[in-house]
Amino acid sequence: LFFINVCSLRFCTSYQTLTWISDSFFTSLLSGRIPSTKDLDGNIFIDRDPTLFKDILNYLRTRDIQFSTSDYKALKHEAEYYGLTPLVRRLMLCDELAQESCGGLLFHAIIAPQSCSFVCLCHPSTANEAVTARSSVAGVDNDLSSNYSKSEFNINNARKLGHLHAENRQNIPISMSDLRIGNIQMKFYPMRVTIVKGHGNWVAVSYPNYVVLHRLKDSLGWMVSWTSPCTEQVIERVALNAKHPFHDRFCRMVAVSYQTIVKLWVVYDNIKDTKEIGTFNLSVQINSLFFTGLHLVALSHSGKFGVWHANTRNWQVQEAINITSHDVSGSVLLLGCDNGCIYLIDMQKFPLRMKDNDLLKTELFRDPGGDKITSLSVFLTPKTNQFAGICSCWMEVAYGTNSGVVRIIVQHPETMGQGLQLLQTFMVHCGPVTKVMISEKHLVSVCSEYNHVRSWSVTRFRGMINTQPGSMPLASFKIFNVEDTYTSAQYHSANDFGPFGEKDDLQVFIQKVIPESDQLFVRLSSSGKRLCVIKSADGSIISSFTVHECESSTRIGSRPRRYIFTGHSNGTVQIWDLSTAFELLGKNEECDLAGLTNQELVKLVGHYDITNSRTPTPAPTPL
């Protein structure tokens, strides 16, 4: 007989009971292959949970599983520690039973990765290193790529590729120069999806050095329409315009930027007619790239911005005061600057003065405190006349400042000719306001303190914001996430947490807790309540995501539907039906959880070293 002391709880058993499973913790302990510790009475001491050890010992005695605790995952963890392979295999079936197959109810579709020369995926200066790092898995990757035709690709292949990269990333050597999330991901996941952008029924999927354009067809689903040539540098930003540019329903426009360079293509249904419009240089780092109508705009925080005008087809670079925020609604482009001013550019008009070729910008408002404008949101009410110019707009603008102040300024018919008037001020943040959103029903602001969110309900009378009783506070919560010490601009662009959605509808935040995560938490922007959880259907890491509403089909009764597009480390794009999640919320079929639970947070960040400092070595806290 053997007496075992498990954290002061004494157990008595036999040698045969402990050793009938070969190569376990107990066989190694009793054979002397691992050192043992004994208590004062000479009993073998094991520093583990005695409650779980009861279930372990009961299994060794009866070869049957009887749960004295409801947490089978904790029992599985103990069985793995003791090396009880038969028990671990049984408990793994519980994991398979609890895990949703093929992504679950909200999973809508998967887009297979597009094969491309691996050398094209890497920056020329790092291509040799990346190829060397990938040589250990090249044979398997080539085999998978040859089988990834449109007709043969499925979830099992994607799962295989996702686990392949997860298993081999630990074997790739990393130098100190590679300790940036972009370089690490380049070596670990050379086929990762870096950015996903949607417009209409078209989606542009960006890989490190090229872009693939996909189109949604009613009966065929998502089809590859065009693949761009490889770029010299890693693509940082993507813009897409599928709303019939040049009044031609057979063409689209795709733009990419890296460092100071912008490339622009016009893509026709007949691929032979596709051509590159040009390569343009802003001469400074590009921080934003987007279309306003038919015009392409590239912004830099340094104050420079470039405009490619669709009518003249000219690239024009202008300078302004340092740009700290911007927002677009229709043809209206608002710029927030570090001098506390908000400027308006009407992109529907020719944006340059003919006499001096200067930009036609209008100063809308100057912050009373002169604070830097760190976030902007413009809402043109449904009564706005889009064809009569900005003078007839019912315009509402919410902005946040560097000192944590949120203000609402409005232009309504009774204030016509007086410019925008200050309506409300909120001083509820202690840090700079990084995001703000004003919609038909809500006002939402986010500050830099752990992405702290405050929301208010907006009271309206005949379409205008009513100050009696005024905006009422709704919720206060955090969109907590853990970021790498060094993150690239591309990472922030591809993993922006929102809010997403049209301003006359419900909006959501997408919470990605850790950089290398396979799940996303979708939360309502107004209340912070959890709408759903998106978990990768193939187990691969989610490298980018966006929310996009696809146009309805030509069938009678069809309506536009909202989807979440997630790009993954294995090159796939998975599509999730967000409209169904909203429908379930209306039927109260989803549990009403307040965002992320403590248990989920601890589990997600369990393998990370957490620090509150941005420097590699945390600074000591002053006494």
Same domain, 81 and 202: no
436 versus 42: the higher-pLDDT residue is 436
188 versus 124: the higher-pLDDT residue is 188
Q: Closest Cα to residue 411, out of 464, 448, 346?
A: 464
Same domain, 31 and 132: no
Q: Say what the pLDDT of residue 133 is.
A: 37
Confidence class of residue 2 from pLDDT cuts 50, 70 and 90? confident
Mean pLDDT of 275-303: 90
User: Quick check: is 596 in a domain?
Assistant: no
Same domain, 262 and 381: yes
**Amino acid letter for position 104:** G
Same domain, 139 and 186: no
235 versus 127: the higher-pLDDT residue is 235
pTM of the shown model = 0.78
Same domain, 282 and 395: yes
Range of the domain at 387: 181-487
Length of the chain equals 623
The DSSP call for residue 120 is G
Q: Say what the pLDDT of residue 260 is.
A: 92
Instruction: Please say if the pLDDT value at position 200 is more than 70.
Output: yes
Q: Say what the pLDDT of residue 609 is.
A: 59
Same domain, 198 and 334: yes
Instruction: Please say if the pLDDT value at position 54 is more than 70.
Output: yes
Instruction: Please say if the pLDDT value at position 502 is more than 90.
Output: no
User: Quick check: is 428 in a domain?
Assistant: yes
CATH number of 362's domain: 2.130.10.10
Instruction: Please say if the pLDDT value at position 325 is more than 50.
Output: yes
CB 600, CB 566: distance < 8 Å: no
Cβ burial 252-283 (10 Å sphere, 16+ → b, else e): bbbbbbbebbbbbbbbeeeeeebeebeebebe
Q: Closest Cα to residue 325, out of 396, 391, 402?
A: 402
Same domain, 40 and 55: yes
Instruction: Please say if the pLDDT value at position 57 is more than 80.
Output: yes
**For 223-246, what is each residue's pLDDT tens digit?**
998 999 998 889 999 999 987 665
Mean pLDDT of 59-64: 86
Structural domains in the chain (count):
3
Rounded to whole angstroms, how far apart are CA atoms 238 and 257? 7
User: Quick check: is 88 in a domain?
Assistant: yes
**Amino acid letter for position 14:** S
**For 418-459, what is each residue's pLDDT tens digit?**
678 888 999 999 999 999 999 888 999 999 988 999 999 988
Tell me the backbone φ, ψ of residue 477, rounded to 5 degrees: -155, 175
Could you tell me the CA-to-CA distances from 337 to 400, 435, 472, 508 in Å, in that order?
11, 15, 29, 27
238 versus 87: the higher-pLDDT residue is 238
* Mean model confidence pLDDT for the chain: 78
Q: Say what the pLDDT of residue 69 is.
A: 59
Q: Say what the pLDDT of residue 535 is.
A: 92
Q: What one-character-per-residue DSSP string does 541-586 give?
A: PEEEEEEEEEPP-SSTT---EEEEEEEETTS-EEEEEHHHHHHHHH
Q: Say what the pLDDT of residue 605 is.
A: 67
Same domain, 333 and 360: yes
Same domain, 438 and 339: yes
